[in-house]
Amino acid sequence: MIPVAPLIAVESTRSLPTNRVAFAEAKIIHVMEGNVEVETTDGATLLAPGTSLAIGAEHWCRMRPRPHARMWTVYADEGFLRTQMGLLLPDRNRVLRGLHPEEWDGRPLLFAPGISRLQLLEPLWRQMSVLRDEAPVPEVVRARAVELFARWMSIVAPTFLAPEFAESLGQPAESALRPIRGRLTDTMTLGHVGRAVRLLRERMHEPWTVAALAESVALSRAQLTRLFAAHTGLPPIRFLTEVRLTEFVRLIEETELSVAHAAQMVGWPDPRIASAWFSRRFGLTPSQYRRNPHPHLSSRDSRDQCAVTKDSGQRMRGLGM
């Protein structure tokens, strides 16, 4: 069966170390807040905000937050990743040595796009994260995945190019990511949206409505919804659902809280709502997730020893690593 989505983006927050695991997909980790030490076959690397690490399929890694971190991790079918990268980087002579898909052997690659670029990318990853929720038709999902991947690459292309070629591209413009008309670049409205995002993250447990959020940041409901979707990739309440789901996953992963208690802590008084969103995203219930720990690897580095996860339910146990 052809997978519905050739890539998926997962936002995660972590405060505890993960096991040493490998995946059947390539993985690209992007650090947004905090620091995290990533251990691979090449040793340990400390990732700070604005840095990224790409790891090929079947290559293991382990993560240790220092002391906590918020990350976006993109899991991609490696064939899809290599094909798309090859199309978007057609001239190997312009690409830094070792970064072209025809040269990459899957070993860890460290990038430093910078936090400003990663912040521009966050709305794209947010849209990737809900691909399967909002477009269940396989052909539509894959077309949308290609579109989002191309927009992603248009922003990070300088990271891959030799300096003499990267300089000509300059810094990505807002319009490259958000091609809408109006006063979107007005610093006042940007500040309002930023405050709205912080309110939802810091007070996710509250029973927010669009009207209440708009009043809190002194915008009309229509203006808040328009600007919020443009800057985060989703409307306000859908964004709140994703924020709650991210924290709910962390609580299920890192604590022994009951499903009901964890749901209440993130703002879902009915645990059935939390379980439904969790199952919709990961393909199994929170209780199944806890009973089905991700297979972890021994300390031996040989890829032949890697117990690569292929089952979708098992795989999701480690998403957000």
For residue 244, give the CATH number of its domain.
1.10.10.60
Is the pLDDT at 153 greater than 70? The verdict is yes
- What's the mean pLDDT in 287-300? 71
Same domain? For 94 and 134 the reply is: yes
Q: Who contacts 303 (Cβ-Cβ below 8 Å, separation ≥6)?
A: 58, 59
Same domain? For 242 and 167 the reply is: no
pLDDT grade for 292, boundaries at 50, 70 and 90:
confident
Instruction: Look at residue 277 and tell me if it is in a domain.
Output: yes
Q: What pTM did the predictor assign? A: 0.82
Mean pLDDT of the chain: 84
Number of independent structural domains in the chain: 2
pLDDT grade for 59, boundaries at 50, 70 and 90:
very high
Same domain? For 80 and 139 the reply is: yes
Domain span holding position 198: 187-282
Quote the CA–CA distance of 137 and 154 in Å, as a whole number: 26
Per-residue confidence (pLDDT) for residue 108, from 0 to 100: 93
The torsion angles phi and psi of 23, rounded to 5 degrees, stand at -125, 160
Same domain? For 69 and 197 the reply is: no
Q: Who contacts 233 (Cβ-Cβ below 8 Å, separation ≥6)?
A: 122, 123, 124, 125, 126, 127, 239
Per-residue confidence (pLDDT) for residue 295, from 0 to 100: 61
pLDDT grade for 131, boundaries at 50, 70 and 90:
confident
- What's the mean pLDDT in 235-243? 95
Quote the CA–CA distance of 144 and 149 in Å, as a whole number: 8
CATH of the domain at 173: 2.60.120.280
Same domain? For 132 and 211 the reply is: no
Same domain? For 221 and 266 the reply is: yes
Per-residue confidence (pLDDT) for residue 182, from 0 to 100: 39
Q: What is the pLDDT of residues 156-207, one digit of tens each?
A: 888 888 887 776 655 444 433 444 343 334 444 467 888 999 999 999 999 9
Instruction: Look at residue 2 and tell me if it is in a domain.
Output: no
